[in-house]
């Protein structure tokens, strides 16, 4: 198959990832956008449509099979685009929803039946509800076995240490905890994430490296030590996500990343095939409830 066929919307480069990707690999963080659904009032990111068929082209480049669809800030608490994607992807997909404190139990049950396994609080863009609601909603979702996914600026994150320490559900930090590489080993937010990972109370997504980098493409060299700090602390608690279709890059805030290169970088950070498999297959299976049966091997 030639490189032209493997070019993908909303992704730089073309061709497959130059690494053997294990069977059942999961992209634990991506979004879909659909103009049939209105953006929330005040939404700061309104990218063009990016759907399931577009993403399936990306999977041919990254070698992933499973996917976690996250409702983006664009739609507020409207989870319909995410739910449409879960239906289209089938059993290889799970979802992360955005809800507010007024959601009723029947809605939560329907979300669970559709494949949702967590809720997201975005304290950087489009935050819904007050921080005080974080604990209340965590209590609501605990019985479902869900997690709370959190994106917050480092100073705010550090200030939430007491709250996060008493939540009755795991916390999932996306985008490297939104910690810049230069903060690693210095900022209390980095220490907090490492502490929660080590205690088995949190997970970290190595997603959005192109967002947190201070050096930029093509090598994102400054991100490697940050990634390895998490892998060293708790390799059983580390996940990977593409963050496709890279809404902030589409808006011109960063260069558009090459997703095949992102996968190759992950292989460099993990350092060996066993750790790569753990991050891409076993850890997502544990958090999102995928089966460990992996009949199809994806390779470079």
What's the gap between Cα 54 and its chain centre? 18
The per-residue pLDDT for 299 is 34
Indicate if the pLDDT at residue 30 is higher than 80.
yes
Q: Give 133: exposed, middle or buried? Use CB within 10 Å, 0-12, 13-18, 19+.
A: middle
- 63-118 per-position pLDDT tens digit: 999 999 999 999 999 999 999 999 999 999 999 999 998 999 999 999 999 999 99
Catalytic residue at 2? no
The per-residue pLDDT for 159 is 93
Indicate if the pLDDT at residue 132 is higher than 90.
no
Share of the chain above pLDDT 70, in %: 93
The per-residue pLDDT for 294 is 45
The CATH code of the domain that includes 208 is 3.20.20.140
Q: Which two tokens stand for residue 175?
A: 């985008």
Give me the mean pLDDT over the 131-148 stretch: 91
Task: Give all strands of the β-sheet with 147-151 in edge-to-edge order.
Answer: 26-30, 66-70, 93-97, 116-122, 147-151, 171-173, 202-206, 238-240
Give me the mean pLDDT over the 229-256 stretch: 96
**In terms of residue numbers, what domain contains 156?**
26-288
Is residue 274 in a domain?
A: yes
Catalytic residue among 84, 243, 258, 259: 243
The per-residue pLDDT for 296 is 43
CA distance 196 to 1: 44
The per-residue pLDDT for 210 is 96
The per-residue pLDDT for 180 is 97
Is residue 170 in a domain?
A: yes
Q: Give 102: exposed, middle or buried? Use CB within 10 Å, 0-12, 13-18, 19+.
A: exposed
CA distance 32 to 56: 12
The per-residue pLDDT for 157 is 94
The per-residue pLDDT for 298 is 38
Is residue 296 in a domain?
A: no
- 175-203 per-position pLDDT tens digit: 999 999 999 999 999 999 999 999 999 99
Is residue 300 in a domain?
A: no
Is residue 106 in a domain?
A: yes
The better pLDDT of the pair 281, 6 is held by: 281
Indicate if the pLDDT at residue 300 is higher than 90.
no
Q: Which two tokens stand for residue 204?
A: 């970290």
| Number of domains observed in the structure of the chain | 1
Give me the mean pLDDT over the 168-173 stretch: 98
Is residue 169 in a domain?
A: yes
CA distance 193 to 190: 5
Give me the mean pLDDT over the 131-145 stretch: 90
CB of 294 closer than 8 Å to CB of 23? yes
The per-residue pLDDT for 4 is 52
In the block, residue with structure tokens 């970290």: 204
Q: Give 163: exposed, middle or buried? Use CB within 10 Å, 0-12, 13-18, 19+.
A: middle
**CA nearest to 223, candidates 278, 262, 256, 279:** 262
Is residue 298 in a domain?
A: no
The better pLDDT of the pair 132, 248 is held by: 248
Q: Which two tokens stand for residue 192?
A: 């907090």
The per-residue pLDDT for 292 is 65
Angle in degrees, CA 10, 84, 172, rounded to 5: 70
Indicate if the pLDDT at residue 1 is higher than 50.
no
Which of the 8 DSSP states describes residue 37?
Answer: S
The per-residue pLDDT for 114 is 98
Is residue 76 in a domain?
A: yes
The per-residue pLDDT for 6 is 75
Give me the mean pLDDT over the 265-283 stretch: 98
């Amino acid at each position: 198959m030639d490189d032209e066929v493997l070019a993908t919307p909303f992704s730089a480069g073309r061709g497959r990832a130059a690494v053997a990707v294990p069977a059942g690999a999961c992209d634990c963080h991506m979004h879909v956008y659909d103009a049939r659904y209105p953006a929330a009032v005040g939404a700061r990111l309104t990218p063009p449509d990016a759907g399931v068929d577009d993403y399936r082209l990306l999977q041919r480049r990254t070698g992933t099979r499973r996917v976690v669809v996250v409702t983006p800030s664009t739609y507020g608490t409207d989870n319909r685009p995410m739910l449409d994607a879960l239906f289209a992807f089938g059993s290889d997909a799970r979802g992360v929803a955005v809800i507010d404190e007024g959601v009723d139990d029947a809605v939560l049950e329907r979300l669970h039946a559709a494949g949702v396994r967590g809720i997201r609080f975005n304290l950087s863009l489009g935050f819904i509800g007050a921080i005080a609601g974080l604990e209340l909603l965590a209590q609501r979702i605990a019985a479902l076995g869900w997690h709370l996914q959190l994106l917050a600026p480092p100073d705010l994150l550090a200030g939430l240490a007491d709250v996060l320490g008493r939540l009755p559900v795991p916390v999932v930090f996306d985008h490297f905890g939104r910690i810049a590489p230069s903060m690693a080993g210095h900022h209390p937010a980095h220490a907090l994430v490492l502490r929660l990972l080590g205690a088995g109370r949190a997970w970290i997504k190595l997603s959005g490296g192109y967002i947190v980098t201070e050096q930029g493409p093509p090598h994102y060299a400054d991100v490697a030590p940050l990634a390895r700090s998490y892998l060293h602390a708790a390799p059983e608690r580390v996940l990977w996500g593409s963050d496709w279709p890279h809404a902030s890059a589409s808006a011109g805030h960063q260069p558009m990343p090459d997703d095949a290169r992102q996968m190759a970088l992950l292989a460099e950070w993990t350092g060996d095939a066993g750790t790569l498999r753990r991050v891409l297959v076993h850890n997502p299976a544990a958090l999102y409830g995928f089966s460990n049966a992996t009949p199809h091997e994806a390779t470079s």
